[in-house]
Amino acid sequence: MKPTYDLLVQGNNLRLKDDFLGMSNVTLIGSKSGPILFDTGGYVSRLGLLKALAARGLTPADIPVVFLSHLHFDHAHNVDLFSHARFIVSQREWDYVENPHQNDLLVPWGIREQLSKSRIDFIEGEGLIDEGISFFPAPGHTPGCYAIELDTGDRGTVIIAGDAIKYAKEAIIGACDMAFDTIENGTRTIERILDRADRIMPGHFPELVKQANGAFSWNDAAPFDLLIR
């Protein structure tokens, strides 16, 4: 079977003057061997993630594999909901969060301890998770960022980029604008993704689709329902 993908939590790139409101995309991948969750989102997405799973007839216990693009709070909180699962984590990222960049304040305390309660498969280089589902290093935002490439058939090559491409701006200008590794590494990663993908699921933006002229744009707006109580 060809892999499928389904956006469970719609991310955004909103922020306050000095802090982030941004929620990350959380994507459910359908594979020959069963569902794979790409990232778990932050605490602000916790109830929405459970609701989205329930709407598909699933609970966290039905997710056997969780792939973490990197270990920032907005992508790797909620791992405790899937403590039974097998986690796939970059060895480079695992080492990085032990001693992150001095300006990287986004690594949640205790993330290694929490993940260590579960089975972790550490990855390096490129490889396959399942039929039509491959992973590859995507450094820049952090040194250990990883992305997933899906050979979907009907939708072409879909890259679930995480924060290797956070939002449309980086795809449009073809350059990284927030790196705790290096801007140069981030830009090389973006160039690779733009060259290979027909569709891109960014970390904090609606899905990007390659147009006839080779540029990427998006078809769907990202809702942000804010309720005051």
Q: Is the pLDDT of residue 168 over 90?
A: yes
Task: Read off the pLDDT of residues 109-133 as tens digits, 9 standing for 90 and up.
Answer: 999 999 999 999 999 999 999 999 9
- From the number of C-beta atoms within 10 Å of its C-beta (0-12, 13-18, 19+), residue 86 rates as middle
User: What architecture is the 4-218 domain classified under in CATH?
Assistant: 4-Layer Sandwich (3.60)
Task: Read off the pLDDT of residues 127-167 as tens digits, 9 standing for 90 and up.
Answer: 999 999 999 999 999 999 999 999 999 999 999 999 999 99
Cα–Cα distance list, 190 to 121, 186, 206 (Å)? 25, 6, 17
What does pTM read for this prediction?
Answer: 0.97
Split at pLDDT 50, 70, 90, the class of 61 is: very high
Q: What is the Cα–Cα distance from 226 to 229, expressed in whole angstroms?
A: 10
Q: What is the Cα–Cα distance from 82 to 65, expressed in whole angstroms?
A: 9
Q: Is the pLDDT of residue 226 over 90?
A: no
Q: What is the Cα–Cα distance from 119 to 104, expressed in whole angstroms?
A: 26
Q: What is the Cα–Cα distance from 31 to 8, expressed in whole angstroms?
A: 16
Q: What is the Cα–Cα distance from 68 to 147, expressed in whole angstroms?
A: 9
